[in-house]
Structure 1
């Protein structure tokens, strides 16, 4: 069975540089056999690819891609802290979607993060999840994702 890092390579996915915190927190912490990430924005090469509300300035389809990018940033934070190969199970994803007033497609948006976990970790990527619509996110980002994993 391929290691997590080998699986990422097979998928053609390279983990980004860990995004610098935008306030007073650390990207991830370990407690016991779990790693919890801080909320990760969808930075790509240090920039937000879009800003605004999903269902208004940002399409749901694009937001799903941004949720995937945010989840990649969470995996990068986990990798930097303990090494991605130590991840044995994805326990939970919490996704926040900056939502236009009538937008109710938050679950579909956060599928971008969830589907990535399935691609990378297979059955161990199945997880509990919340997908929440919010009025605003830091830096006017359209999505934010938190990840909790179990490690060996």
Structure 2
């Protein structure tokens, strides 16, 4: 078991199976020494852990949990192309999309769930640039979607 997966295990988490793409794309793609993930939604055993919008059905706190799940799913996609998460040198960037009502302005607090999780798992290598974007709707009515750019060796 990799050191990264050991840290996940200490948190009571395991990497899920990579979700089968719902369209014509790959879950993750390597270019040079970077991995770019497709957007990852909060699937748990093939089902969304929640649907709806932030600022309506979903609280900021639960949104942050959902963002963490999206990040865990993104790590599974990263592992699927590099084989071992101990090869991660740096989480370079997170792009987070938050399905929210028009007056909702706490998208960064929601995406903090993913950011803090990755920093907890990778330490300094988990520090990253980030975008947190509010959108009107996401695929399957998911509340959050996360993309990662990861440097590896």
- TM category, shorter: over 0.9
Structure 2 counterpart of 1:51: 51
Q: CA RMSD in A?
A: 1.2
Deviation larger for 125-134 or 82-91: 82-91
Structure 1 counterpart of 2:105: 104
CA displacement at 1:8 relative to structure 2: 2.4
CA displacement at 1:5 relative to structure 2: 2.8
Structure 2 regions of 5+ residues with no counterpart?
none
CA displacement at 1:80 relative to structure 2: 1.2
CA displacement at 1:11 relative to structure 2: 3.1
Contact 2:5 2:15 in 1 (8 A): no
Structure 1 counterpart of 2:21: 21
Structure 2 counterpart of 1:121: 122
CA displacement at 1:58 relative to structure 2: 1.3
Deviation larger for 79-88 or 118-127: 79-88
Q: How many angstroms apart in 1 are the aligned matches of 2:50 and 2:5?
A: 29
Structure 2 counterpart of 1:7: 7
Q: How many angstroms apart in 2 are the aligned matches of 1:5 and 1:32?
A: 24
Q: How many angstroms apart in 1 are the aligned matches of 2:112 and 2:45?
A: 22
Q: Give SS of 1:118's match.
A: helix
Structure 2 counterpart of 1:92: 93
Contact 2:54 2:60 in 1 (8 A): yes
Q: How many angstroms apart in 2 are the aligned matches of 1:50 and 1:117?
A: 21
TM-score by length of 1: 0.95
Contact 2:54 2:100 in 1 (8 A): yes
Q: How many angstroms apart in 2 are the aligned matches of 1:51 and 1:10?
A: 28
